[in-house]
A and B are shown apart, each in its own frame.
Chain A
Amino acid sequence: MSFFHSLNNFHIDVLREIGNIGAGNAATALSKLLNKKIIMKVPDVRVASFNEMFELAGGADQYVASVFLRMDGKVTGSIFFVLPVDQATLFVRQMTGIDDFSFDRPPYPEIALSAFQEAGNILASSYLNALSDFIRLPITPSVPEAVIDLFGAIISYGLLEISRESDQAIVIDTEIIDTAVNSGSIKGHIFLLPDPGSFRVLFDALGVGSE
């Protein structure tokens, strides 16, 4: 797709800054909720084929816990919070203090799933709020939904709109890390996948030419 090829390093830096601002705000919100330190890595901006997208969380067959929101308005796209299931279990145990459950296999306790959905919602909506402030355009998030299943089956929802114009996606991938777990750190991903038509809107809003 010609537009993807016209992206230069400066555009990539702008997208990385979007990830920084969005995920930074998300990590702060989650820190407040859990009253502990959540750190984030420098966002990774990639132009990836759909099959390469699957590798960002361990492959299409990887069993993950996810929260998905669509964004609507002048900027459209998808945002996902994704954790491997065993880490999602640890994460929700910490968050709720309830220890006698696991996301390893269904049925999942309603309260654990809602706690996970709420954490994902807080992360995604604080990310999108910061993005909206940064570009000075409203972004309307859809109702968040938590789903635990194969990563490929989940992330493909973020590729549907993109696939109408391209065989590649531009993904802003930020890893957020909760280090205060005895049994190792919890590493989750926030994936922002703007629809192809939204890049021009993002760059124009930030006064960066897209040609």
Chain B
Amino acid sequence: MKSSPSIIQVGIAEMNIARSPSVIRTSGLGSCVGVIIYDLPQQLAGMVHVMLPDSQLARTKAFNPAKFADTAIPALFQLLIQNGARSKNLKAKLAGGSQMFKTTLKSDLMRIGPRNVEAVENELAKLNIPVVAKDVGGSSGRTIEFDPQTGILTVRTVNKGIREI
């Protein structure tokens, strides 16, 4: 019997995978970036909700790899390979990296959105995973949902409504 479609939720600084007919989603992306790496022929997708660009920002030796772009992308790649994804099939889509607050704030951390996007793209390039679609930047929050069966990423924002990429 085929399992009924379900929505797999990915929280902030978390990652997970989904197989068709399930879909995978993350909510309330601001400066964070939601990254999907997927194997369309196998209808398998992984998603991570990245908060910060570089694990060198961590002040502790042990940390959650899903939090930082430079550790999250390789970890998601590994997770997909372990679950049967073929590396030659892999493609990526990403969304997020907004600047919600415009006011000049002293901390560089408050301008983290664009740096997160750049770090994610660098890591994907190292693994030769092409970014086939993205909806990044701006000043709006996003909620995203990916369907491993179609490869479509649905992006919801308050301002622009729903778009598919």
Residues on B with beta carbons closer than 8 Å to the beta carbon of A50: 11-13
Q: How large is the interface on B (under 10, 10 to 19, 20 to 34, 35 or more residues)?
A: 35 or more
Closest to A49 in B: B11
Binary per-residue interface labels of chain A (58-71) against chain B in the complex, 1 for a CB within 8 Å, 0 otherwise:
01110100001010
Cβ-defined contact, A161 with B103, below 8 A: no
A199 contacts chain B at the CB level, 8 A cutoff: no
B67 within 8 A of A: yes
State which residues 91-145 of A face B: CB under 8 Å. 105-106, 142-145
Chain A's nearest CB lies how many Å from the CB of B29? Answer: 6
Write the chain B residue with the least CB distance to A142: B105
B51–A60 CB distance below 8 A: no
* Partner-contacting stretch, out of B37-45, B56-64, B75-83, B117-125: B56-64
Cβ contact within 8 Å between A145 and B102: yes
CA of A166 to CA of B57 in the docked complex: distance in angstroms? 12
Contact A70 B112, beta carbon cutoff 8 Å: no
CB distance from B37 to the nearest CB of A (A): 22
Cβ of B50 to closest chain A Cβ, rounded Å:
11
Looking at chain A, what size class is its interface with the partner chain?
35 or more
Binds A, one of B16-24, B85-93, B135-143: B135-143
Contact of A164 among B59, B102, B103, B142 (CB under 8 A): B59
Interface membership of chain B positions 122-165, coded 1 if the CB is closer than 8 angstroms to chain A and 0 otherwise: 00000000000000000011110000000000000011000000
From residue A55, how far is it (CB to closest CB) to chain B in Å? 11
Contact call A51/B64, Cβ cutoff below 8 A:
no
How far is A68 from B99 in the complex, measured between Cα atoms in Å? Answer: 13
Check B7 for interface membership: any CB of A closer than 8 A: no
Contacting pair A154 B158 (CB below 8 A): no
B110 touches A156 (CB 8 A): no
> A181 contacts the other chain (Cβ, under 8 Å)?
no
Measured CB to CB, the closest approach of chain A to B64, in angstroms, equals 6
Interface majority SS on A: helix, strand, loop or mixed?
mixed
User: How long is the Cα–Cα vector from A54 to B101 in the complex, in angstroms?
Assistant: 18
B36 at interface, CB cutoff 8 A: no
- The answer to whether A152 and B105 have CB atoms under 8 Å apart is no
Q: Is the CB of B103 within 8 A of A142?
A: yes
Residues of B within 8 A of A156 (CB): 12, 28, 30-32, 51
Q: Which of A142-160 contact B (CB under 8 A)?
A: 142-145, 147-154, 156-157, 159-160
Residue numbers in A under 8 Å from B101 (CB-CB): 68, 145, 147, 157
The answer to whether B13 touches A153, judged by C-beta atoms less than 8 angstroms apart, is: no
| CB nearest neighbor in B for A70 | B105
Contact A157 to B158, CB < 8 A, known contacts A50-B12, A163-B51, A165-B60: no
In the complex with contacts A143-B103, A167-B64, A152-B30 CB distance below 8 A: yes
In the complex, whether A72 has a CB less than 8 A from a CB of chain B is: yes
Q: In the docked arrangement, what's the CA distance between A167 and B112, Å?
A: 18
Chain B residue at smallest Cβ distance from A107? B159
Contacts of A161 in B (CB 8 A): 107, 109
| Residue B47 interfacial (CB < 8 Å) | no
Interchain CB contact (< 8 A) of A106 among B13, B57, B100, B159: B159
- A: which residues have CB within 8 A of B? 1, 50-51, 54, 59-61, 63, 68, 70, 72, 105-106, 142-145, 147-154, 156-157, 159-161, 163-167
Q: A149-B141, A156-B28 are in contact. List 13 more A-B contacts (CB 8 A).
A: A54-B11, A54-B27, A63-B158, A142-B106, A144-B103, A153-B29, A153-B140, A156-B12, A160-B52, A160-B110, A163-B52, A164-B52, A164-B59
